[in-house]
Amino acid sequence: MRRKYLDNIRWMTVVLVVIYHVLYMYNAEGVMGVVGKITNLEVQYYDLFQYIVYPWFMCILFIVSGISSRLYLEKHTGKEFAKSRTRKLLVPSTIGLFAFQFIQGYFNMHMGDGATLPEGIPAPIVFIIMCLSGIGVLWYIQLLWIFSMLLLLIRKIEKDRLWKLGGKTNILAIILFTIPVWVAALILNTPIIVVYRFGLYGLLFFLGYFVFSHEEVIEKLKKYFALFLVPAIVLGVLFCIFNFGKVYADAPVNRTPLFTSYAWFACMAVLGGMAKYADFENKFTSFMTKKSWGLYVFHYLGISMVAIWLVKPGFISAVPAYLLSMIAAFAVAFVLYEIISRIPVYRWMVLGIKKDKKRN
């Protein structure tokens, strides 16, 4: 049976990502590469939302991706898995940059005050820079493709021995995973582009595959849901108290034990809570599940359009800026998805949709 709570985690997390990026675009906490503060408030307390969700919302997506990889491989061959992941993940994050995401790159290059390129650079070079600048949210699927290919190699070696061992994981072990998660957060982090955290996200992906793909482990999370929820809330409050006003997305904040322990307990609470209370499907959840891929890929473009065309020139004030950015994120994403998903070949390049399908 399909684990519907995994679908619900995905689309709900994507919605959180959209809200996060709207606030992120106009943040007052020193995060660079965006328009930045547009209010006269001495302190933007609503920026706390970024601190609340940032440590864990991408972490849970990698865990869910690991679980989903196991479920897929139970019914498909490794060759089919490699082909599917390459089409869905690698193609949009490479070919898709040149086919569409250069548009996002254009807006990204005009986001900050110092983003203008020196004169005299040949147009082809400028276009390549725009394409690379347009990676944006696609960093997630780039990492996911790498982890997926590594998984195929690991499967040939471990031959399900490690996976079977993962099924024996108890609650104490799950709690103690906090330690390797913190260690993983300290290694294989790229400089400057801080989202490429190969250590942390790689570990979470493989824990999803080897541990949390077991229904008996999920049953334990459901049973002890409060055991993870309460510490997650406490750790989240402490994280916000000690770090509000600091750059939460970069070192040293994103490598502290407080950051990773909050992320871990929050992920466990989400996984257990959603499995316990949200393992269902209705018309709305089905709609959001089908559209979440397009929402993730295109939402930041809508936010960027409002930010560059209306907010940065000063045409609108703060309140309309936030409202229009939120509306544009959903509207532009849904419209683009409906259009591009119907165009043969182009939908394969931008969204990784096979030629015989109009939807994910």
- 206-261 per-position pLDDT tens digit: 999 999 999 999 999 999 999 999 999 999 999 999 999 999 999 999 999 999 99
The residues, ordered by sequence, that sit 6+ positions from 285 with a Cβ below 8 Å of its Cβ are 4, 7, 8, 11
Q: How far is CA 341 from CA 142, 330, 345, 352, in A?
A: 21, 16, 9, 9
pLDDT for the residue 119:
74
Place of tokens 């209705």: 282
Which percentage of the chain shows pLDDT scores above 90? 89
Residue 295, pLDDT above cutoff 90:
yes
Q: How far is CA 259 from CA 55, 61, 63, 122, 235, in A?
A: 6, 17, 17, 43, 8
Residue 176, pLDDT above cutoff 80:
yes
Residue 104 within any structural domain of the chain: yes
Quickly state the pLDDT bin for 113 (edges 50, 70, 90).
low
CA 291 to chain centre: 15
pLDDT for the residue 293:
97
Specify the 3-state DSSP secondary structure of 345.
coil
Residue 308 within any structural domain of the chain: yes
pLDDT for the residue 357:
45
pLDDT for the residue 135:
94
pLDDT for the residue 9:
98
Residue 358 within any structural domain of the chain: no
- 46-91 per-position pLDDT tens digit: 999 999 999 999 999 999 999 999 999 999 999 999 999 999 999 9
Tokens of 208: 């999803």
Residue 114, pLDDT above cutoff 50:
no
| Amino acid residing at 182 | W
Number of domains in the chain: 1
Domain containing residue 108: 4-351
pLDDT for the residue 358:
44
The residues, ordered by sequence, that sit 6+ positions from 49 with a Cβ below 8 Å of its Cβ are 19, 20, 23
Contact between 189 and 199 under an 8 Å Cβ cutoff? The reply is yes
0.85 exceeded by the pTM? yes
pLDDT for the residue 354:
85
Residue 180 within any structural domain of the chain: yes
Quickly state the pLDDT bin for 116 (edges 50, 70, 90).
low
Mean pLDDT, the chain, rounded, equals: 94
Beta bridge partners of 189: 197
User: Once rounded to an integer, what is the mean pLDDT over residues 257-284?
Assistant: 97
In 3D space, the residue among 17, 14, 55, 50 whose CA is nearest the CA of residue 265 turns out to be: 55
Residue 120, pLDDT above cutoff 90:
no
Residue 356 within any structural domain of the chain: no
Residue 132 within any structural domain of the chain: yes
pLDDT for the residue 360:
42
Whole-number Å distance between alpha carbons of 87 and 92: 8
User: Once rounded to an integer, what is the mean pLDDT over residues 128-154?
Assistant: 96
Residue 359 within any structural domain of the chain: no
